[in-house]
Structure 1
Amino acid sequence: MNYQSVIILGAPRSGTNMLRDVLCEFDGVGTWPCDEINYIWRHGNVTSASDEFTVEMAGPEIKNFIANEFDAFAEKQKLSFLVEKTCANSLRVPFVDKVMPEAKYIFIVRDGVDAVGSATLRWKAKLDIPYILKKIRYVPFSDLPYYAIRYFSSRLHRFFSKDGRLSFWGPQLNGLDSALKHYSLEEVCALQWQRCVELSEAALSKIPEDRVVRVKYETFVTQPESELSRVLQALGVDFDSAKVKKAVIRVSDKSIGKGRKALKDKNLEDVERLVASTLKRHGYEC
């Protein structure tokens, strides 16, 4: 392998896209031309109801398939660094690490309440055909029938459901169907955030520190140049101050607090109560 794989870990709506995009502004750094490649990661485990894969689920054939997809794309694009940011990987870091044992990780954490306010909107989003077409290019051919049925059923659920939401969105937790029956949508988003953060934390604590870079969303968007420089240095990407300044020109701190404001008082209280321990551990108010 003559390139470095870089896996961005983070809960939905935590700045993973932003981080990927600024990294890809540098020479030799690239990514797939779609939002994420969860279809590739799930190949061989496609019928699993959850994204919480175990290490044992990364058998030789699956490991080789995913690794070959990375190798082929990096070679085709002549990349020195291949960045990937599938949010569901936050739930299965040991699985990912077995597949990509030389990967470096960037773990980004955002205020969970802000992330919830933003994620709730995605559960109710309208069909985005261009977005789907970009992702469908990377669905393994044998998995297409499964995903076609799944997408259709999810959209059908949105049409008939009282709250106008999809039947699934984002990382699929163990017990997600049950959670959707017993919690509000905002609380389910909070549980998604918490599970992604806590499982990533636990797994990364067992990986050598020189392979892990930790980022706080709020710090990155308020101090983008210094934070990006720190990340680039840890990854081994060549850079200078002018390139860094140009790369972060679109980074904004305007979304800080936006998700909190979008939640109604009762929803805010319910969300904070549900994930208070995780919020506090990362220095967020509740």
Structure 2
Amino acid sequence: MKDYSGKNIFLIGPARSGTKIIRDVIASHPEINKVPYDINYIWKYGNYNKEGDVLTTKDYDSKINTYIKEYLEKFRSGNNYLIEKTVGNTVRVPYIYKNFPEAKFIFLFRNGLDTIESVIRQWDKVPGKKYLFEKAKTVPVDILLRYGFSYITRYLKGQNNDNYYWGVDVPDLNELSENEKLEVKVATQWKYCVDSMLLAYDQIPVGQKTVVTYENIVEKPSDEFLKILTFINEDFNKDKINYEKITDKNKGKYKGTFTKEQIELISDIIKDSQHKITEIS
């Protein structure tokens, strides 16, 4: 039997909440490796027939579990710790916990208005060919043939595709009119992801979870990464990470982008979820 005793860290956060740079900073520690891309296609393995990105513990299967573990092991490269972040995981934390009951979870939240503003800028932006090629090299051939073609086609078509969405595919998006304002679509998507995270947070044992916010990290990176590394392993050398690229230049960026009307419209959708984030963070 293969050894899967390595320790897994899952960074859970909505799209454009800082998951990529925070993952990279954590993985700059010499004892932590990372999965360098979102791997939605792996998490969905065996469940491609299900619409959207939501998975529950009912979707668990031991063969699927083995497949996911074997894939993740490719990135461990001898290190005991491996960090992974896929934004679709915001809507399936209990499923991940079922697959990795010993894992640790870092729940990352960012001001909803800033996150939504950033997603809107990405919504109709086609990924670069270099990015798609590099990511494709990490996808198993069987999945690439089944999943990759539709993935690439959807993004290349962009908003010309009636079923287009950017980021996490959540049920509430399907209930909106095609003509609904983009900020409403993105706010609805963000709210679903955050509400799923908040609900799942209570289901993870205390010692296996921590909450961080993007705002605290960009304001006090030294303190916040010390907190994160201590959570992962209190014996880690906390000086061996590089957070020089962390900056607060994007904090509050929505203020120079959104109109007063847009801010009011979005705030009305997300206010309850934003309040709950404040309560746990």
Output the TM-score relative to the length of structure 1: 0.89
- Tell me what 1:104 maps to: 104
How far off its partner does 1:38 sit? 1.1
1:251 lines up with 2:246 in the alignment: yes
Alpha-carbon spacing, 1:128–1:253, altered in 2? closer, same or farther (3 Å)? same
Q: Kindly tell me the number of residue pairs found equivalent between the two proteins.
A: 275
Q: 2:21 maps to which residue?
A: 18
CA 1:235 to 1:180, structure 2 compared with 1: closer, same or farther past 3 Å? Answer: farther
Q: Shift in Å at residue 73 of structure 1? A: 3.0
Percent identical: 27
Q: For each residue in 1:115-162, what CA deviation from the matched residue of structure 2 results, as whole angstroms up to 9, or x when unmatched?
A: 00000011111331121122222333223234303431442243x47x
Q: What aligned pairs does 1:159-238 form with structure 2 within 5 A after superposition? A: 160=160, 167-179=164-176, 181=178, 183-236=180-233, 238=235
Q: In 2, distance between residues paired with 1:64 and 1:178?
A: 35
Which runs of structure 1 show a deviation greater than 6 angstroms over 4 or more consecutive aligned residues?
none
* Distance in structure 1 (CA, Å) of the matches to 2:177 and 2:152: 18
Residue 36 of structure 1: aligned partner: 38
Q: Unpaired segments of 5 or more residues in structure 1? A: none
The secondary structure found in structure 2 opposite 1:125 is coil
Determine the structure 2 residue equivalent to 1:152.
Answer: 153
What aligned pairs does 1:25-104 form with structure 2 within 5 A after superposition? Answer: 25-33=28-36, 35-74=37-76, 77-104=77-104
Assess if the C-alpha contact under 8 Å between 1:124 and 1:166 holds in 2.
no
SS of residue paired to 2:83:
strand
SS in 1 for 2:240: helix
Q: How far apart are residue 86 of structure 1 and its match?
A: 0.1
Asked if structure 2 preserves the Cα contact closer than 8 Å seen for 1:9 and 1:108, the reply is yes
Q: After alignment, is 248-257 or 123-132 more displaced?
A: 123-132
Instruction: Determine the C-alpha separation between the residues in 1 that align with 2:270 and 2:172.
Output: 17
Q: Distance in 2 between matches of 1:148 and 1:48?
A: 17
Q: Could you tell me whether the CA contact under 8 Å between 2:104 and 2:232 is conserved in 1?
A: yes
Q: Does residue 1:271 correspond to 2:252, yes or no? A: no
Kept after mapping to 1: 8 A contact 2:173/2:188: no
Contact 1:7 1:103 in 2 (8 A): yes
Amino acid in the other structure paired with 1:57: D
Residues 1:78 and 1:44: Cα distance change in structure 2 (over 3 Å): same
| RMSD (Å) for aligned C-alpha atoms | 2.1
Following superposition, the deviation at residue 180 of structure 1 comes to 5.4
Seen in structure 2, the aligned counterparts of structure 1 residues 253 and 42 have a Cα distance that, compared at 3 Å, is: same
Change (3 A) 1:173 1:260: farther
- Tell me, in whole angstroms, the C-alpha distance in 2 between the residues paired with 1:224 and 1:166: 39
Distance 2:239 2:140 in 1: 40
Letter of the structure 1 residue corresponding to residue 233 of structure 2: G
Superposed CA offset, 1:213-242 (max 9, x none): 110110111000011001100100654454
Q: Can you list the C-alpha shifts for 1:223-281, whole angstroms capped at 9, x where unaligned?
A: 0001100110010065445434xx11111111110134222222221111111111223
8 Å contact kept, 1:123–1:166: no
Are the counterparts in 1 of residues 35 and 85 from structure 2 also a CA contact under 8 Å? no
Give the secondary structure class of the aligned counterpart of 2:94: helix
CA distance in 2, matches of 1:32, 1:157: 26
- SS of the residue 1:127 aligns to: coil
Deviations, residues 94-114 of structure 1 (Å, cap 9, x unaligned): 111111111100001000010
Amino acid at match of 2:202: S
In structure 2, C-alpha distance between the alignment counterparts of 1:100 and 1:20, rounded to whole Å: 19
Deviations 1:1-25 (A, max 9, x none): 3321000001111111121011111
Q: Is the 8 A contact 2:108 2:212 kept in 1?
A: yes
